[in-house]
Amino acid sequence: MIGILRKNLFSARKRRQKKRKRAGGRKINRALEEGLIGRWLIGLFIFVASVAVISWRGMPIRIPSVGQISERDVIATTDFSFPDRARTEGEREAAVNRQPFAYRVDRSVLEKKSALVEDIFDRLPSPGASPRPAVPGFVFASPGRALPGLADSLFPPALRESVLAVLEELYRPGILSAEIKKTLLNTRQEEIVVAGREERGEARVSLAGHPSEDTARRRAAAELRRLLPAAAPVINGLSASLVEPNLVFDPERSAELRESARRSVATIMTGVARGEKIIRQGEEVRPRDIQKLRSYQEELYRIQPPISFIYYTLGIGFLILLFYLVTVFFLHRYHRAVLESNSRLLLIATVIVLVLLFSRGLRQVAWYLPPGLMEGVRYLSPVAFGALLLALLVGVRLALFFTVILSLQTALIQGGGEGYLLVGIIGGMAAVLGLSFARRRRDLFRAGGLAAVSGALAIAALGLAEGTAPPVVANQAAGAAGSGFLSALVALVALGIFEPLFRISSNIGLLELSDLNHPLLKTLMFRAPGTYHHSLMVATLAEGAARAVSANPLLARVSSYFHDIGKTVKPEYFAENEPPGGSRHDRLIPSMSSLILIAHVKEGVALARRHKLDRRIRAIIEQHHGTGLISYFYDRAERSLQLNFNLLEKEFRYPGPRPQSREAAIVMLADAAEAASVALERPTPVRLEALVRDIIHERFADGQLDECDLTLTHLKKIELTLSRILAARYHSRVKYPEGNGKKPNRGNPANRKR
DSSP β-ladder status, 80-83 and 269-272: antiparallel
Give the pLDDT score at 232.
66
pLDDT of residue 512 exceeding 50, the answer is yes
| Nearest in space to 397 (alpha carbons), one of 368, 429, 420, 353 | 429
Confirm if 195 and 101 have CB atoms less than 8 A apart: no
DSSP β-ladder status, 102-105 and 247-249: antiparallel
The pLDDT tens digits for 21-76 are 554 444 445 555 667 888 999 999 999 999 999 998 888 887 787 777 787 888 88
- Window from 8-17, 75-84, 92-101 with minimum mean pLDDT: 8-17
Which is higher by pLDDT, 328 or 511? 328
Which is higher by pLDDT, 58 or 673? 673
Q: Predicted confidence band at 11 (pLDDT cuts at 50, 70, 90)?
A: low
Q: How does DSSP classify residue 360?
A: H
DSSP letter for each residue of 603-640: HHHHHHHHTT--HHHHHHHHHTTTT-B-HHHHHHHHHT
Q: Predicted confidence band at 12 (pLDDT cuts at 50, 70, 90)?
A: low
Helix (H) / strand (E) element for 543: namely: helix 529-548
Query: What integer is the mean pLDDT of 712-719?
Result: 95
CA distance 123 to 113: 16
Give the pLDDT score at 134.
45
Q: Predicted confidence band at 486 (pLDDT cuts at 50, 70, 90)?
A: very high
Q: Predicted confidence band at 137 (pLDDT cuts at 50, 70, 90)?
A: very low
Q: Which residues lie closer than 8 Å to 270 by C-beta, 6 or more apart?
A: 81, 82, 84, 87
> 514-729 — its CATH code?
1.10.3210
Q: Predicted confidence band at 19 (pLDDT cuts at 50, 70, 90)?
A: low
The pLDDT tens digits for 639-661 are 765 544 566 778 889 998 999 89
- How high is the mean pLDDT of the chain? 82
Q: Predicted confidence band at 133 (pLDDT cuts at 50, 70, 90)?
A: very low
Query: What integer is the mean pLDDT of 731-754?
Result: 51
Q: Is 609 exposed, middle or buried (0-12, 13-18, 19+ CB in 10 A)?
A: middle
CA distance 126 to 132: 9
SS3 683: coil
Give the pLDDT score at 194.
85
Query: What integer is the mean pLDDT of 663-681?
Result: 93
pLDDT of residue 142 exceeding 50, the answer is no
Confirm if 431 and 487 have CB atoms less than 8 A apart: yes
Query: What integer is the mean pLDDT of 512-535?
Result: 92
Which is higher by pLDDT, 68 or 608? 608
Its CATH architecture, for the domain 342-510, is Orthogonal Bundle (1.10)
pLDDT of residue 748 exceeding 70, the answer is no
The pLDDT tens digits for 446-477 are 899 999 999 999 999 988 887 777 888 888 89
pTM score, whole prediction: 0.68
Q: For the chain, how far is it from start to end, CA to CA, in angstroms?
A: 72
Q: Predicted confidence band at 614 (pLDDT cuts at 50, 70, 90)?
A: confident
Give the pLDDT score at 505.
80
Give the pLDDT score at 741.
47
- Window from 173-182, 601-610, 612-621, 717-726 with minimum mean pLDDT: 173-182
Burial letters for 472-496: b for 16+ Cβ neighbours within 10 Å, e otherwise?
bbbbbbbbbbbbbebbbebbbebbe
Confirm if 612 and 503 have CB atoms less than 8 A apart: yes
CA distance 443 to 447: 6
Task: Count the neighbouring beta carbons within 10 Å of the beta carbon of residue 436.
Answer: 12
Alpha carbon dihedral 638, 644, 650, 651, in 10-degree steps, equals -90
CA distance 357 to 351: 10
Confirm if 416 and 63 have CB atoms less than 8 A apart: no
pLDDT of residue 250 exceeding 70, the answer is yes
pLDDT of residue 599 exceeding 50, the answer is yes
pLDDT of residue 379 exceeding 50, the answer is yes
Confirm if 403 and 447 have CB atoms less than 8 A apart: no
The pLDDT tens digits for 100-118 are 888 888 888 888 888 887 8
The pLDDT tens digits for 205-227 are 888 878 888 888 888 888 777 77
pLDDT of residue 442 exceeding 90, the answer is no
Half-sphere exposure of 613 (CA within 13 A, CB side): 28
Q: Which residues lie closer than 8 Å to 599 by C-beta, 6 or more apart?
A: 566, 569, 570
Give the pLDDT score at 155.
56
pLDDT of residue 271 exceeding 80, the answer is yes
| Nearest in space to 64 (alpha carbons), one of 337, 268, 280 | 280
CA distance 204 to 213: 19
CA distance 387 to 450: 13
Q: Which residues pair with 490 in a beta bridge?
A: none
Confirm if 453 and 481 have CB atoms less than 8 A apart: yes
Q: Predicted confidence band at 751 (pLDDT cuts at 50, 70, 90)?
A: very low
CA distance 194 to 333: 83
Considering Cα of 212, then 213, then 219, then 223, what sign does the dihedral take?
positive
CA distance 483 to 504: 26
Show me where the domains of the chain are located: 97-262, 342-510, 514-729
Query: What integer is the mean pLDDT of 558-573?
Result: 93
Read off φ and ψ for residue 249, nearest 5 degrees: -65, 135
Which is higher by pLDDT, 167 or 642? 167
Give all strands of the β-sheet with 247-249 in edge-to-edge order. Answer: 201-206, 191-197, 102-105, 247-249
Which is higher by pLDDT, 240 or 309? 309
| Nearest in space to 597 (alpha carbons), one of 617, 574, 619, 578 | 574
Looking at the chain, the whole-number percentage of residues with pLDDT higher than 90 is 33
Same fold, 342-510 and 514-729: no
